[in-house]
Amino acid sequence: MLFTQEHAVIFKHSRSCDGSSAAHRRIREFCVTQPGAVFHLISVSDSLPVAIYVERETGIPHQSPQVLALKNGMVFNHASHGNITFTFLKTVYAAVSAQGITAESL
């Protein structure tokens, strides 16, 4: 479970949203430049109840696209829509990798 991991980065994605597709592309490009970066993908189209569960657990209102960075189950950084930039992703990854984190993708 993501909320029991020391660190996790969640990406909520909707295939029907152009903005979400653009954010997904940025995350894939980022992962190419940062081997070891892991984002747990929640497909809102396929798993809306899971996305709503994440909203309830974190207290961060659901949006798509959305990136939530967690430490010990608590959000320490998040962004949605146009704020999911390469710079934001680098900031999140730096915070996670500074802790020596490795994780497995869902």
- For residue 106, pLDDT over 80 is answered with no
Q: What does the pLDDT read at residue 102?
A: 38
Q: What is the pLDDT of residues 49-59, one digit of tens each?
A: 999 999 999 99
Q: What does the pLDDT read at residue 98?
A: 61
Q: What mean pLDDT value characterizes the chain?
A: 87
Query: Going by C-beta distance under 8 Å and a sequence separation of 6 or more, which residues neighbour residue 45?
Result: 14, 15, 16
Task: Write out the residue range of the structural domain in which residue 10 sits.
Answer: 2-97
Query: Going by C-beta distance under 8 Å and a sequence separation of 6 or more, which residues neighbour residue 61?
Result: 55
Domains identified in the chain, total number: 1
Instruction: Please indicate, yes or no, if residue 52 is contained in any of the structural domains.
Output: yes
Q: What does the pLDDT read at residue 3?
A: 77
Amino acid making up residue 22: A
Instruction: Please indicate, yes or no, if residue 102 is contained in any of the structural domains.
Output: no
Query: Going by C-beta distance under 8 Å and a sequence separation of 6 or more, which residues neighbour residue 23?
Result: 11, 13, 65, 67, 81, 84
Instruction: Please indicate, yes or no, if residue 105 is contained in any of the structural domains.
Output: no
| Structure-token pair, residue 90 | 């680098």
Q: What is the pLDDT of residues 21-59, one digit of tens each?
A: 999 999 999 989 888 888 899 999 999 999 999 999 999
Cα 102 to its chain centre, rounded Å, is 15
Amino acid making up residue 49: P
Q: What is the CATH number of the domain that holds 87?
A: 3.40.30.10
Instruction: Please indicate, yes or no, if residue 103 is contained in any of the structural domains.
Output: no
Span 59-67, average pLDDT? 95
- For residue 86, pLDDT over 60 is answered with yes
